[in-house]
A and B are shown apart, each in its own frame.
Chain A
Amino acid sequence: MPPRHEPLPADVAAWACEFLGVDELPPEGPFVPRDRLVEFATALKNDHDFLFFVYCAATHYLAEGEPGSDGALPDRTVVAYRVRRLPDRRRGRPTQTFPFRVVVPTGESTPSLAGVWVGADWQEREQLDLVGTVFQGHPDPRRVMMPDDWPGHPLRRDYAIDTAHFPWR
């Protein structure tokens, strides 16, 4: 039976526990407070060699009480990041990834990581377009996939997929 999740690298996990003030990290990656996100990311990149930006994926969750929702949290978006460090053959270290997440309540914004990894620019644009997460300080906040005048963000759970948009396209 293979491991369900790639194990977090031990040295980074220890550092992240200390940084976040927690005892244990979930295997899907820790939740980082929004106000410390850029600091966390910069340290990951500069001190722990996580140069390779893998992805950034936002997931929308409805608030409690609305149909199809659960949990006690408000209407929110969880942005999951994953960064990778390449193998270090001198130290015998394989390639490792480190995921981390940030919770963005709807109507609020999260700092953009485009200043840390330039690759976050296009990734965050895609999430902005499809999920509607607002990234503060993003250098180029235009839509990517959908037309500029498209109403709504299709990957939100409250997006009415059956609505016909005029003109139909």
Chain B
Amino acid sequence: MRMPLDLLLPSWPDPHLDLGEYDPEADLVALNMGPQHPSTHGVLRVKLYLDGETVVKAVPYVGYLHRGVEKLCEKLTYVQITPIVDKNDYVSPMMNEWAVNAAFEALLGVEPPPRAQYMRTIFAEIQRIASHLISIGTWGLDMGGAIGGGATVFLYCLRERELILDLFEEVTGCRFHYNTHTVGGMRHDLPAGWDKRAKAVLDRISARTWEYERFLLDNPICRQRAEGIAVVDPTLAMELGVSGPILRASGVDYDMRRDAPYGAYGDIDIQVPVRTEGDALARALVRIAEMRESARIASTLLDGVPEGPIGALKPVKLHGAVKLKDGEEGYAAIESPRGELGTYVVAARERRGAASPYRLKIRSPSYHAISLLPWLCPGHTLSDVVVIIGSIDPIMGEVDR
């Protein structure tokens, strides 16, 4: 059930709506949602102009979590950057590490050995499951409240995620900010028997994905809240650079893992879940299907992890030894749980072979997804806004960097 409103055009509403042109009879209320608000996934602030409870205009303000990561990276060596970018997308740190190191390796002309490629791919897929679990769980919190049915969904999701964190802890010693990728490979090798434990965990999780699917599809309240909410136009999404599950839920069959293979993805067939509805429910269902597919990919790859070294460069000499040529610039991207996560690097020109980048830009999918909000919110009610924010799943650490 959608609110009938003239603003809600079938095409794109105007995100730069001049409020002076809006109905002068209406009593508009400006409501600051955030930066301290339980459902804005961190410190997002959305200034909502409400006519009753219907949103007329939504203006997102970001930057409350701006830590100057890109400036900091200009002062660090290429090897030191990995633990810093870990904290960007703090729900899937493995992806951040891979994205920067992929860019450095491409510019340096180093290819990680096959074992490292397989490890990266397996870690990324397991991380994707963990990230989507958080996404579904917090979306439940948004719809059901922290004191209510939503919290139950959230804790069930955390139950599964806990298994994944245990797996990563076994490899890297850290539960969250792993610092396990490095230029040219990995820092930590797989412990003995890890593959069997990982497979057991993946089987357990994929056997439980039906619980989330049932929560979404068999729950009439969830369907009522999410169906037909915030339909994303695929052309608009592409122009905004929105990728990942949001784009795939709008009917665009595009996944970098299959269409521009990197890592070990070239060795395996990937089924990309696509839905055409484009609404909030479709995005969640795409995420659940991706969880299942990721579990399958990781299980399959675990069977064929090749033996060999895990790093292309000598670990002792790594620090400070990774130097790019003057003024070279390049870009490498991976498919993170939220879409295309890329890194644009310009190598230093100051000294020959300086060990830190001249300019580093992280192309974060969440920043692009947040820019969808002014298009999605108008015409929906205040209650829908939290559902919309939850369904596009922004990570503010990645938006603000």
Contacts and interface: CB of A to CB of B under 8 A. Distances in A.
Given A51-B235, A57-B361, A119-B240, A94 B71 contact: no
Contact of B252 (A59, A86, A121): A86
B398 to A, nearest CB: 13
Label chain B's interface by main secondary structure: mixed
Interface residues of A, number: 45
Given A139-B16, A154-B68, A59 B239 contact: no
Contacts of B359: 57, 59-60, 155
B241 A4 contact: no
Contacts of B68: 154
Given A53-B241, A145-B66, A82 B111 contact: no
A55 B331 CA distance: 10
B238 interface: yes
A130 B342 contact: no
A122 to B, nearest CB: 4
A146 interface: yes
B330 A28 contact: yes
A5 B239 contact: no
A140 B109 CA distance: 40
Contacts of B16: 139-140
Interface string A77-89: 0001010001100
Label chain A's interface by main secondary structure: loop
A49 B168 CA distance: 41
B340 interface: yes
A2 interface: yes
B254 A87 contact: yes
Given A2-B106, A4-B107, A130-B70, A57 B344 contact: yes
A51 B239 contact: yes
A53 B260 contact: no
B243 to A, nearest CB: 8
Interface stretch (B2-10, B209-217, B280-288, B363-371): B363-371
Contacts of A28: 328-330
B346 interface: yes
Nearest to B363: A55
A70 to B, nearest CB: 6
A93 B143 CA distance: 41
Nearest to B107: A4
Chain A CB count within 10 A is highest, among B106, B241, B330, for: B241
B161 to A, nearest CB: 30
Interface string A115-152: 00111011100100010000000011001111100000
B111 A86 contact: no
A30 interface: no
Contacts of A80: 329, 344
A160 interface: no
Interface string B359-383: 1010100011011000000000000
Chain B, interface size: which category?
Answer: 35 or more
Given A55-B344, A154-B71, A86 B254 contact: yes
A68 interface: yes
A3 B10 CA distance: 44
Given A2-B111, A144-B62, A52 B349 contact: no
B109 A1 contact: yes
B97 interface: no
B400 A59 contact: no
B63 A146 contact: yes
Contacts of A122: 240, 367-368, 370-371
A96 to B, nearest CB: 9
A95 B256 contact: yes
A20 interface: no
Contacts of A123: 241
A163 B240 CA distance: 36
Contacts of A147: 63
Contacts of A68: 350
A80 B344 CA distance: 9
Contacts of A6: 331
Chain B CB count within 10 A is highest, among A80, A94, A139, for: A80
B94 to A, nearest CB: 21
Interface in B64-86: 66, 68, 70-71
15 contacts: A4-B106, A4-B107, A6-B331, A54-B340, A55-B344, A57-B361, A68-B350, A82-B331, A86-B252, A87-B259, A95-B254, A117-B239, A146-B66, A147-B63, A155-B71
Interface of A: 1-6, 28, 51-55, 57, 59-61, 68, 70-71, 80, 82, 86-87, 94-95, 97, 99, 117-119, 121-123, 126, 130, 139-140, 143-147, 154-155, 161
Given A55-B331, A55-B363, 13 more contacts: A3-B106, A4-B109, A51-B235, A51-B239, A54-B340, A57-B363, A86-B238, A95-B254, A99-B331, A139-B16, A144-B62, A145-B66, A147-B63
